[in-house]
A and B are shown apart, each in its own frame.
Chain A
């Protein structure tokens, strides 16, 4: 039997699209991974709450098919759909970091119930930490990672002070907008 005869017998085909489709998938990797994360979170929450996908569709007031697309990671989610998901599941799925700004004295005082009168800052200059700004006592600490919108706020009442500082000091891009000057200076000295 010739090769052609063998091939006719087994019926060969070609799927030349696979590679092109795969390349497209990789180009959209970040979006795909976000969709997967949302899908997996939704599946976990459904299990935890004992809800079916039909229950979710009903609560969201969307079709069952749309929920299927979400849990298959095939839905290009809009903010409206995310909001409906969050309402139905009672959990936050999308959390956008707040814009990095100095905490106002009024807000701090309001939050803590402690009177605060100024802002102290310690900035990393590349080799050490340098104080600038006010030195009056504050009641919270904020680490700002320069070049990104990410920051973390800590309340002195709950913060693991040393661990948090060690983390900030380890990052060359970090800048600390600080709290009580004396306490922070002491901690920085211990770390250096």
Chain B
């Protein structure tokens, strides 16, 4: 497992903040690229919608076709991308990644280090279905572990979201094992 800096401060007091992502395989791509790679692949999305049509129709609240559901999800992926670009650009003005991420557990109100977190475009889409999963280091620093199309209340209810939950826990344990608890521990000093 490796860790990749996607954007954030390169120097100064906030050096190392921003968004990081886990690379699970040395020769593979990191979790953030992998997530958007899937969300922008019509064939992958189409297959997913075909295999999860009942969940999708329940989540959309009406009898949507595979084709239309796939297109809506792809547009949501793009909205998520826009939001992340905006946050990256506005980081210097005090916008934090907490505008997109919140604790994974809805009942949890405290923001803690190494907290399992979820991100979505809730502010622009009424009923978002996409999630970015991450481990929180501080308000401006998150480590992305993956993402999913979440259509059920609990992640354990479907194999693909259950897998994302297990990945998050595995990454948190790995970070602890590496002695990484705070943003400062991620900073790459020359």
Contact = CB atoms under 8 A, between A and B. Distances in A.
Chain B binds chain A: yes
Interface of A: 1, 3-4, 6-7, 9-16, 18-19, 22-23, 25-26, 29, 32-33, 36-37, 39-41, 43-44, 71-73
Contacts of B88: 19
Interface in B164-190: 178-180, 184-189
Contacts of B30: 15
Nearest to B179: A6
Nearest to A18: B6
Contacts of B75: 33
Contacts of A18: 6-7, 32-33
A13 B188 CA distance: 9
Contacts of B3: 10-13
20 contacts: A3-B184, A7-B189, A12-B3, A12-B5, A12-B186, A15-B5, A15-B6, A15-B21, A18-B32, A19-B85, A22-B85, A25-B40, A32-B78, A33-B75, A36-B40, A36-B71, A37-B71, A40-B42, A40-B45, A40-B70
Nearest to B36: A22
Contacts of A14: 4-5, 188
B57 to A, nearest CB: 16
A10 B42 contact: no
Interface string B43-86: 10110000000000000000001110011001100100110110
A39 B146 CA distance: 25
Nearest to A46: B46
Contact of B5 (A6, A13, A26): A13
Contact of B82 (A13, A26, A36, A37): A26
A15 B66 CA distance: 34
Given A10-B180, A72-B42, A44 B2 contact: no
